[in-house]
Amino acid sequence: MASDFTQQIREKARELLEDGTVECVIGYETGSDGISARPAFIYNAADVERLVFDNTCTHNLVKYLLNKKAKSTAVVVKGCDSRALNLLLSERQIERDKAFVVGVVCPGIVESRWNERSEQLQKRCDWCRQHTPVVSDFMVGDPVTEQPPADFADVAEEEAKTAEERAAFWQQQAERCIRCYACRQACPGCYCTDCFAESLDPEWVGIRIAPAESQMWNTIRAFHLAGRCISCNECERVCPVNLPLSLLNRKLEQKVLELFDYRAGMSEDAPAPLITFKKDEKLGIAE
Amino acid sequence: MSENSAPLIIGFLCNWCSYAGADMAGTSRAAYPSNIRILRVPCSGRVDPMMIVKCFQEGADAVLVAGCHPGDCHYNEGNYYGRRRFALLRELLDFMGVERERFRVEWVSASEGKRFAKIVTDFTNEMTKMGPRKAS
Amino acid sequence: MVQAESSSLEPVAKRVYSYYPGCSLHASAKEFDVSAKLVCQKLGIELRELEDWICCGASAAHSTSHLLSLALPAHTLKQAGEKGLPLAVPCAMCFSRLRITLHELKKKETLDLVSRTLEKELSTDVTVESMLDVLANESISLPVTKPLERLKVACYYGCLLARPPEVIGCDDAENPQTMDRLMGRLGAEVADWGLKTSCCGAGVSFPRLDIVLKLSHRILSLARSTGADCIAVACPMCHANLDMYQKDMTAKHKEKTNLPVLYFTQLMGLALGFSPKELHLDRHLTDPLPMLREKGLA
Amino acid sequence: MSRIGVFVCHCGTNIGGVVDVPKVVEAAKQMPLVVFADENKYTCSELGQASIRNAIDEHRLDRVVVAACSPRMHENTFRRTVAAAGLNPYLLEIANIREHCSWVHSDHDEATVKAIDHVQMAVAKVARHEALFPKTIGLTKRALVIGGGVTGIQAALDIAATGHEVVLVEREPSVGGRMAQLDKTFPTLDCSACILTPKMVDVAQHPNITLLSYSEVKEVRGFVGNFEVDILKKAKMVDHSKCTGCGTCWQKCPGKVSSEFDLGLGQRTAIYIPFAQAVPNKPVIDLENCRYQTFLKWDESQGGKKPPECRICEKICPTKSIDWEQQDEIVTEKFGAIVVATGFKTFDHSVYGEYGGGRYPDVISSLQLERLMSAAGPTEGEVVRPSDGAHVKNVVFVQCVGSRDDRVGRPYCSKVCCMYTAKHAIMLKEHDPDVQCYVFYIDVRAGGKDFEEFARRAQDESGAIYLRGRVSHIYQDGKNLKVLGEDSLIGRPVEIEADLVVLATGMEASDNADTLAQTLNISYTIYNFLIEAHPKLRPVETQTDGVFVAGSAVGPRDIPECVAHGSAAAVKAVALLSQDSLKSDPLTSIVDPMKCVGCFACKVVCPFNAIEEQVTRDKRTVSSINENLCKGCGLCVVACRPGAINLRGFTSQQLLSEVLTLVRE
């Protein structure tokens, strides 16, 4: 299947580059370890053979569309990535007519790192309810029936602890955070040119590397993604100290689903939950 | 703070309803504990979740946000947006160990002075009972 | 739920209902029972009478004990639920009690209370349909052999098939059309009149016969004034009131009141080819047979 | 570096009796940037204010904190004080140590600690205040009045009388509104048309008023003083600049349809004026019912007989005013103020199945009865049954049809029905002494000058029988109607044989009132009635500056109230238009275009459409605030993740500084 996907992507890429539909195709190629995929930027039809698709294609390439100066670009997206596309379209960060979307019905992505590849599916693939891209101009693979709603066992497990234990847990995590902001750089929803974390006035996050400041960063990072996180979990994957960032994202994802019946990035038009409201809704606030 | 054990409560009150409601508590001499410190904001929708997280991060024991009753917002819709943000924020804070009881949102109209006093009294008592925040 | 079939030409996939006749249909309204069963049989509708049905409590329970008024129908609903079939109920009073009980049991506290009382695990997963709705389903084709041409029918629904609308789900509580359309399909002309769902006085039959006479007479005379040859009903109580007292009305109002009152199932039966005898048309106090003979229907 | 002065008020003993004011002053002196602190017995007194002015001078203060009563009380007073000493009035902050402190706390120590904290917060905040300047904006000295009923007419005439230009937009072919349909008015029994038509004519003739009939407001842009409004002028197919209103066309037109003005009781022609006294008294062609249009649209392939070409109006028009080429047209006009007077419509009683659901011709609405009673109506004032034209003798009135009834979603009282029904009962008796009226009512609400007397007159002099109770059922019995109801005062059912039933249908917001409200960005209730800025104190203003509301578009009102509100709205509009320029509140949001990423979350949440899109020099599309529309709620600030938006007077920096004084002691 994977080789078939690769073939289809190459053919489409060739066609798009040759007929001038796009200037660049952003896809995956095999990395220099010969094992895991890495992003590839193909400008010439002659180079399309570099493109591959397999179960190590972890990166969310949509992030690369944020370059507003780019001309027409084709991008390979998995189900989760496609939701990022909708998010960015609704937030007017990319122009639909400049993007050609090659959707791939995702077979699931495995844990892999330099020179290492397991057959263990990534956590996000366990949770995933969107293997088929929600937006595409060309679809690779047959759309699949999606699984019924995921449970949030990981969140529930954390919630079973006492408040004190939870506070201690996150305190420990904050002590480990080195505030490298890799989570931010990988996240398709984090595209601000000026991040609150680096604002000196107001100084939301102090410049020292201290647990309280890291806690502030991690809390607000998660909250800024409330109702916007598309569950690609790239933030957690790229974290060099393995902070359990997915817990925060998924806690909010669960609440957003429960309170607003909303999943981010499922359509371009549905307004994100925090920029809309219903007059008569009951949210457990001052009722 | 007068004593270390007394909880610090930071209150964000919307100018049009709740701040006026707190004024009304004053004019009607409706007493309440003195722990609360009040910030005036134009609208409960102006209260940035970042600000609330910051309050807790810096050591506040509790935060009260009070705004106009739904439907009465001076700016028509501000408290509706606030309501959504606060609902999610409270979940996130609780999840991270700031008990949900510590972050309270109330709708207080300009005529509800006595009610404001009662809310603050109850909140203060509850926070005194809970004691100071454990972590950080 | 038995779903409406799209094609009515081929042998219809059998419609099967649990059947709750209620007390009246075993006694004073036997002709309703008999005619309903005949018509159902003809139309390929199988009725399976519940083995252990009990009184719905309509006559007295709801005015003495609210709990009793729910517990009695709940017993029947429990059985119907176990059968897994929709329940067909001809008598409008029984239908009303069953529907109202079902409605009230949707409240969890009520469900728990009645479950405790009956010492049974109750559920609300059962459908209750009036015989009128069962037979008026327009996806059922009617093999009419004797169209009711020349017959003008005033359809009378009474209170209980119309109200309360949010529980009964009547098409229009003030001017319902279900029976009218059904009679129309049988070839009859239907009267457009304004007392289709007005009370006949059944609730005060015994203490205040004067009220019954007044209300029922109003219904009969308006129906008569529209040129109707008969009234079609779907309720044993309405039938009794409208049929039984016509002599008293004649005496009281010094003008002859003589308007046959038939169950809609009897009219259906006639159109479908059953004989007046089979349909027990001879059981009415206001004899319909002369009129039916005159119309060539008997 | 700032030089902050702190002035702590004793307020007699109001503050000083609880809070240790000298201690607060001493604490203030230790606060960063504070160069002066003092106390006053009454800071708001002239003496107290003078001490602030002197201290500003003497100590070269550039910012001031007053610790006293609520800012809602004296913020403006002290702004003027510091302004008098040459400071920008926005370089002031109030610490509320009275309402929020001394009045609610009795422990002196605790109250003093809290007062110090509140002063500290105010100091931290004021240090971050900036000088702010209201902007001066120009304005267009013209008013738009939407709706040509009696309210709109009154507003237009009053504004025009002050010399300002007015455009009056009416969507029907004539002004006059509901009042033009009425026969008489309560409680004086003035002839409605006789008192209204002169005003209608005044509107048409006033040199300052432009009447745009058969027109609708489609789009409103801009803000107070500077609205730009798109008005749709529907094609009339008649050139009104040539037409003299001679009436030949509508007398000869063969296309007959049911008349909207007569509520289906009469007919009009396809080229028509809605009623004889219409203003303008020139016709429009109703294209849907015009025979020439039917001829043009006729499709041979569908068979049938080809309709005649007609065009009679065109042939007989002496001034050649028929113009088949006319098209709908949108004109854009500028206004400084807008008065909304879109009025009401009556409730559609067909939802009441028990009253026949609209099936019985002799069950009519009260407004239909007005048309029957009107000498200019379809029966020339003869009250006859629609079904057979028979004169009526027994008339039943049913009150509260579509009012005070939760079942039909209309729980409110329509206010005028009790009185107009009394009027109907009186008038019917006057028309024909043999008429007997019955009125089923819930309560008789007759609050108003001469109202109670009038309602009594219907009973005492005109012999109307008032029955307290609802009607349960109405049905046709032969030619007559049977009305079944209850007299709840004696607890008996009532049965009345009537030859006419009149339903007192309630008042509803007019069609598309909600759409118009959205266009104007003003609020409306769940019943689509417009919402005033304050129900008691600002009854004709709205949340949108420069937009005023009047008449029954706001809620059920009778004619004198509508007229009064029309005049009130006119005064407010004129007060606005008579200024030479407007000042905008400087406490608005502001965007840093360098930080803005153009996600426009701010634009989505802004309740006032104050966020505009702007292209920067480096070709990025970013937000910018229209300060004339911004009301300073700060919703956009919170919606903005990168922190590109801030709210003047309540900046994130200021609020954060306040918080930090509390937690970082």
Q: How far is CA D139 from CA C243, D192, D337, in A?
A: 81, 38, 9
Determine contact: D432 vs chain B, CB below 8 A.
no
pLDDT confidence of residue B3: 43
Helices within D332-375 (DSSP H only): 366-373
Average pLDDT over residues D507-511: 97
Determine contact: D353 vs chain C, CB below 8 A.
yes
Query: Is A204 in contact with B50 (Cβ distance < 8 A)?
Result: yes
Of the candidate ranges A195-199, C36-40, C173-177, D303-307, the one whose mean pLDDT is the lowest? D303-307
Of the candidate ranges C226-230, D133-137, D190-194, the one whose mean pLDDT is the lowest? D133-137
pLDDT per residue as tens, chain B (136 positions): 334 468 999 999 999 899 999 999 999 999 999 999 999 999 999 999 999 999 999 999 999 999 999 988 889 899 999 999 999 999 999 999 999 999 999 999 988 999 999 999 999 999 999 998 865 4
pLDDT confidence of residue C3: 43
Which residue is listed with tokens 């759309």? A143
| pLDDT tens column, D381-418 | 999 999 999 999 999 999 999 999 999 999 999 999 99
Please report all neighbours of C, defined by 3+ CB atom pairs within 8 A.
D
B128/chain A closest Cα distance in angstroms: 17
Enclosing H/E stretch for A115: none
Cα distance between residue B107 and residue B104, in whole Å: 10
> Which residue in the set A194, A195, A201 is minimally distant from D653, CB to CB?
A201
Which residue is listed with tokens 């809970």? B130
pLDDT confidence of residue D584: 83
pLDDT confidence of residue D665: 57
Query: Helix (H, G, I), strand (E, B), or coil: what is residue C153?
Result: strand
Average pLDDT over residues D625-630: 92
Query: Is D650 in contact with B42 (Cβ distance < 8 A)?
Result: yes
Token couple for C260: 């046959």
C103/chain D closest Cα distance in angstroms: 19
Query: Is D633 in contact with B75 (Cβ distance < 8 A)?
Result: yes
Cα distance between residue D347 and residue D537, in whole Å: 30
Percent of residues, chain D, with pLDDT higher than 70: 100
Cα distance between residue D241 and residue D330, in whole Å: 18
Q: How far is CA D627 from CA C26, D517, D586, D612, D654, in A?
A: 81, 21, 8, 10, 21
Average pLDDT over residues C251-267: 92
Give C6's pLDDT tier (boundaries 50, 70, 90).
very low
Query: Is A248 in contact with B95 (Cβ distance < 8 A)?
Result: yes
Enclosing H/E stretch for A166: helix A163-176
Give D124's pLDDT tier (boundaries 50, 70, 90).
very high
| Highest mean pLDDT: which range of C33-37, D530-534, D584-588 | C33-37
Rounded to the nearest 10 degrees, how much is the dihedral formed by the CA atoms of A133, A136, A139, A144? 30
Which residue is listed with tokens 């037109």? D253
pLDDT confidence of residue B2: 37
Residue (of D355, D401, D349, D357) closest to D500 by Cα position: D355
Closest chain D residue to B12, measured at CA: D655
Most D CBs within 10 A among A275, A277, A280, hence the mutation to make, goes to A275
Contact status, residue C193 vs residue C154, Cβ threshold 8 Å: yes
Q: Is the torsion defined by CA of A85, A87, A93, A98 positive or negative? A: positive
Average pLDDT of chain C to the nearest whole number? 91
> Which residue in the set D353, D475, D477 is minimally distant from C172, CB to CB?
D353
Determine contact: A205 vs chain B, CB below 8 A.
no
Please report all neighbours of B, defined by 3+ CB atom pairs within 8 A.
A, D
pLDDT confidence of residue D222: 85
Enclosing H/E stretch for D160: helix D150-161
| pLDDT tens column, C21-80 | 999 999 899 999 999 999 999 999 999 999 989 999 987 788 889 999 999 999 999 999
Closest chain B residue to D525, measured at CA: B71
Q: What is the DSSP string of D560-627?
A: HHHHHHHHHHHHHHHHHHTSSSEEE-S--EEE-TTT--S--HHHHH-TT--EEEEE-TTS-EEEEE-T
Query: Helix (H, G, I), strand (E, B), or coil: what is residue D333?
Result: strand
Q: Which residues of chain A have pLDDT under 70?
A: 1-2, 149
Average pLDDT over residues C107-126: 92
Largest CA-CA distance found in chain D, in angstroms, rounded: 101
Q: Find chain B residues with C-beta within 8 A of D655's C-beta.
A: 39, 41, 48, 51
Query: Is C194 in contact with D475 (Cβ distance < 8 A)?
Result: yes
> pTM higher than 0.80 for the full model?
no
Enclosing H/E stretch for D502: strand D500-505
Q: Find chain B residues with C-beta within 8 A of D607's C-beta.
A: 75-78
Amino acid identity of residue D455, one-letter, is: A
B21/chain A closest Cα distance in angstroms: 16
Query: Is A168 in contact with B107 (Cβ distance < 8 A)?
Result: no
Average pLDDT of chain D to the nearest whole number? 95
Residue (of C114, C118, C90) closest to C102 by Cα position: C114
Residues 226-245 of D with CB under 8 A from B: none
Between vectors from CA B4 to CA B1 and to CA B5, what angle results, nearest 5°? 115
Contact status, residue D341 vs residue D145, Cβ threshold 8 Å: yes
pLDDT confidence of residue A218: 96
pLDDT confidence of residue C5: 41
Q: Find chain B residues with C-beta within 8 A of D650's C-beta.
A: 41-42, 46
Which ipTM did the prediction report? 0.68
CB atoms within 10 A of CB D207: 7
Check whether the bond before D254 is cis (ω within 30° of 0): no
Residue (of C25, C68, C33) closest to C278 by Cα position: C33
Rounded to the nearest 10 degrees, how much is the dihedral formed by the CA atoms of A28, A29, A31, A37? 40
Percent of residues, chain D, with pLDDT higher than 90: 92
Query: Is A248 in contact with B90 (Cβ distance < 8 A)?
Result: no
C4 pLDDT more than 60: no
Query: Helix (H, G, I), strand (E, B), or coil: what is residue C217?
Result: helix
Cα distance between residue D50 and residue D122, in whole Å: 21
